[in-house]
Amino acid sequence: MRIIPAIDIINGKCVRLTKGDYSTKKIYNKNPLEVAKEFETYGIKYLHLVDLDGAKSKHIVNYKVLFEITNNTNLIVDFGGGLKSNEDLKIAFENGASQITGGSIATNNPSLFMEWLSTYGSKKIILGADCNNRKIATNGWLESSETDVIDFIKDYESKGVKYVICTDISKDGMLQGTSNILYTEIIDKTNIQLIASGGVSSIQDLEKLKLIGCEGAIIGKAIYEQKITLKELSKLC
């Protein structure tokens, strides 16, 4: 299972939110590159970089942070947040993203998302399936829908999607464990490569996700609040 630390960006700074609520913003480092370099020092190879300003603004904003990280580390970066147009996608890839995550776009403009999937291929386009009470949420989790997360994933799997990041918003930033029942159901009912996100609070949580069969696990606040050390993560890489 791939270990994928997360860096969320607001105003160019490394932050974390609780349940996606922007009013809960906590700044952990004013220099995201410094954080990324520390990850790399411990043998970490992957990074989940989220442009929270972009998610709110509905267009890419913090691409300069992406450029700094990809040009000064060897981390393999998947980038998400605010990717709503072909130009946004072009900017993300030109600034070093290896993959992009499209969530809101897959709900609100499925034809454009499918165009991206056809143009760039399933290895570069990750489906973002963020949900609350099993219902898909979009635009930085500020908007909700009536679409069931399993139905959403199965529909896009039938259209060629291979990788899915699923975040249970109720777990995100809570440090109270992951949505193992939901993830087990997704893995049982689909053949997608599932990247779990939200709620990781310990090495034991990661071990459970691996047993379930997740392809990757995203870790955020647990690192910043020192619930999991980078030394511990390095042993899993």
Where do the domains of the chain lie? 2-234
Q: Is 23 helix (H, G, I), strand (E, B) or coil?
A: strand
**pLDDT tens digits for the chain (237 residues)?**
999 999 999 999 999 888 778 889 999 999 999 999 999 999 999 999 999 999 889 999 999 999 999 999 999 999 999 999 999 999 999 999 999 999 889 999 999 999 999 999 999 999 999 898 888 986 655 567 779 999 999 999 999 999 999 988 876 656 668 999 999 999 999 999 999 998 899 999 999 999 999 999 999 999 999 999 999 999 998
CB-based contact 189:181 (threshold 8 Å) = no
Domain 2-234, CATH among 3.40.1190.10, 1.20.1290.10, 3.20.20.70, 3.30.420.40: 3.20.20.70
- Catalytic site residues? 8, 130
